[in-house]
């Protein structure tokens, strides 16, 4: 199968008082119809990589190819209108929704982008139904919705554009725990219904395991482990992956408490992981 997305030896640096290398010689591929998860703790470089994939971040070196062509650096504004076959869902839905435009119109923007690329078109109401929202929400504004409803609208808007590749950066972190798995599943189903590839970024291996075909584990800008999601979950090869898994909160009857990090994890992972993983 030819690749939809190919990231090769990607390096992203931020130059301020000091140089931060956020992504360090990172390579991965996504095929059409594949769900790839990228997991890792806060600050490991996931968002920097996602932004580079959609043309919002300029690589220092390496390449990001989409359907065999280099993804141009478009910055934040131009990306939205020029490159609609790759869509992005952000952790904070407010960064992709316009507070002054009704929900229906915002989803229509996505539908228009799809029509411009030859799609036969759909209605905002259909998309609201697909993401589990009442169709009456077409006439609402974003501030009249809950955070979870806003994120569903952002997902509807992105999917209405019928992307070939959907990049979702922590799309379920802002949702309440009870709806995280169902929204993640919905994203998988809707992306695959359209034949799209999905890059699903999360720090939650338990949910990733449910929806991703393959999982890439990232630590300090690099890949420490990658493979079939179930294998990574059941038989993690790298101590960092084991630390991530053992730090997943477990119900203990009294509430949700973090489990102890893996015994063989280096001290820096053991101290930083529970805090990072409990950000939700």
Which residues of this protein are in contact with ligand ATP, per CB under 6 A? 14, 16, 20, 22, 40, 42-48
Residue nearer to ligand ATP on the CB measure, 42 or 194: 42
Closer residue to ligand ATP, CB minimum distance, 42 or 123? 42
Shortest distance, CB of residue 24 to ligand ATP, whole angstroms?
Answer: 10
Residue 184 to residues 37, 78, 173, 255: CA-CA distances in angstroms? 11, 28, 10, 23
Residue among 49 and 128 whose Cβ is closer to ligand ATP: 49
Short-list 34, 4, 21, CA closest to 216 = 34
Helix (H) or strand (E) holding 222, with range, is strand 222-228
Q: How far is the CB of 263 from ligand ATP (least distance, A)?
A: 25
| Least distance CB 175 / ligand ATP (angstroms) | 16
Question: SS3 of 201, please?
Answer: strand
- The span from the CA of 220 to the CA of 240, in Å, is 11
Q: Smallest gap, in angstroms, from Cβ of residue 232 to ligand ATP?
A: 18
- Least spacing, CB of residue 64 vs ligand ATP, in Å: 15
Residue with tokens 């584990």: 217
Closer residue to ligand ATP (CB): 22 or 113: 22
Closest CA relative to residue 87, chosen from 118, 104, 111: 111
Instruction: Return the number of the residue (93 or 124) whose C-beta is nearest ligand ATP.
Output: 93
Q: Which residues pair with 61 in a beta bridge?
A: 11
13 vs 109, which CB is nearer to ligand ATP? 13
Listed residue (35, 85, 56) closest to 215, CA to CA: 35
DSSP labels, 77-136? HHHHHH-TTEEEE-SSGGGTS-TTS-HHHHHHHHHHHHHHTT-----HHHHHHHTT--GG
If the CB atoms of residues 53 and 137 are measured against ligand ATP, the closer one turns out to be 53
Smallest distance, ligand ATP to C-beta of residue 62, A:
15
Residue 166 near residue 198, CB atoms below 8 Å: yes
CB atoms within 10 A of CB 141: 15
Output the smallest distance, CB 196 to ligand ATP, in A: 22
d(CA 123, CA 127): 7
């Amino acid at each position: 199968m030819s690749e939809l997305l190919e990231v090769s030896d990607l390096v992203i640096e931020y130059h301020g008082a000091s140089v931060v290398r956020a992504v360090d010689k990172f390579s991965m591929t996504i095929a059409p119809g594949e769900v790839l998860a990228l997991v890792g703790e806060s600050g490991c470089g996931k968002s920097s990589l996602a932004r580079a994939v959609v043309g919002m971040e300029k690589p220092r070196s390496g390449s990001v190819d989409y359907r065999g062509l280099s993804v141009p650096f478009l910055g934040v504004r131009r990306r939205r209108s020029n490159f609609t076959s790759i869509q992005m869902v952000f952790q904070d839905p407010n960064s992709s929704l316009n507070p002054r435009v009704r929900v229906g119109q915002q989803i229509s923007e996505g539908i228009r982008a799809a029509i411009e690329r030859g799609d036969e078109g759909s209605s905002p109401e259909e998309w609201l139904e697909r993401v589990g929202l009442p169709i009456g929400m077409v006439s609402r504004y974003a501030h009249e919705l809950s955070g979870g409803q806003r994120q569903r609208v952002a997902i509807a808007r992105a999917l209405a554009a019928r992307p070939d590749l959907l990049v979702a950066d922590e799309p379920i972190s802002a949702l309440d725990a009870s709806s995280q798995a169902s929204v993640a599943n919905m994203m998988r189903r809707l992306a695959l219904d359209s034949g799209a590839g999905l890059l699903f970024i999360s720090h939650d291996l338990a949910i990733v395991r449910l929806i991703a075909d393959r999982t890439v584990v990232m630590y300090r800008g690099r890949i420490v482990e990658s493979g079939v999601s179930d294998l990574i979950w059941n038989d993690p090869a790298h101590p960092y992956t084991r630390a991530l898994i053992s730090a997943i909160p477990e119900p203990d009857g009294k509430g949700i408490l973090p489990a102890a990090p893996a015994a063989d994890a280096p001290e820096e992972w053991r101290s930083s992981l529970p805090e990072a993983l409990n950000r939700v």
